[in-house]
Amino acid sequence: MVRIALDFDGVITHTVPAMVRYASAHFGLALTEAECVSLSARVQLDEAGYRRLIRETHETEYALTFEPTEGVADTLAELSDSHELLILTSRSGASLVRAEEWLVAHRLRDHFVDVVHGAAGTKAAAAERLGLDLLLDDRPYNLMGFEREARAVLWTTSYNADDVIPDRCTRVRSWAEFVGLVSQI
């Protein structure tokens, strides 16, 4: 049995495209996906505007409209039959509640033993504390600092395709590729 942590936003759900649509409809901004995830790429939003965008997309019912990533439901069903899965997210408070509601609405919550907020430190540090074998995330910086034999895996997206990845990190571009990686452990 492999202990696997999956990020919620950008891995389980297509959060960033939903943020782009929301910014267009409610702020009148044509944001790029990179502007929704990277401090250095933000041109059209200041810090207050970005925090407002996060609040309005992650803490409201709008969060329930996020689309699941292609193939996630079948993959989670397959993996949860023989592995321990949990969500390791940076979300907390109301946005964490919305993530749990989303999982229930999409009938995916039962595939996970827990939904955990990364809390203090990095996700890699939380993964170490939790004794995980794999951590799958869409943000390279969340994968930095893996010290154990655990594997850090980057879910490749349009907004991270050109990012340099940490040492000991592997990229995957699909759920089928991720399942293949899990099968090698």
- Dist CA 114 CA 5 (whole Å): 10
Please report which confidence band the pLDDT of residue 37 belongs to, taking 50, 70 and 90 as the band edges.
Answer: confident
Same domain, 9 and 50: no
Same domain, 48 and 114: no
Same domain, 59 and 80: no
- Dist CA 172 CA 155 (whole Å): 5
- Dist CA 60 CA 142 (whole Å): 25
Query: The domain that contains 115 carries what CATH number?
Result: 3.40.50.1000
Same domain, 142 and 51: no
- pLDDT tens-place string over residues 103-161: 999 999 999 999 888 665 678 788 888 888 899 999 888 888 766 656 889 999 999 99
Our count of domains for the chain comes to 2
Same domain, 53 and 89: no
Same domain, 140 and 75: yes
- Dist CA 110 CA 34 (whole Å): 32
Please report which confidence band the pLDDT of residue 40 belongs to, taking 50, 70 and 90 as the band edges.
Answer: low
Neighbours of 156 (CB within 10 A): 16
Same domain, 35 and 114: no
- pLDDT tens-place string over residues 65-89: 999 999 999 999 999 999 999 999 9
Same domain, 28 and 9: no
Same domain, 111 and 172: yes
Quote the pLDDT of residue 120: 59
pTM for this model (two decimals)? 0.92
Neighbours of 107 (CB within 10 A): 11
- pLDDT tens-place string over residues 86-106: 999 989 899 999 999 999 999
Range of the domain at 132: 3-14+66-183
Side-chain-side CA neighbours of residue 184 (13 Å): 10
Mean confidence (pLDDT) of the chain: 89
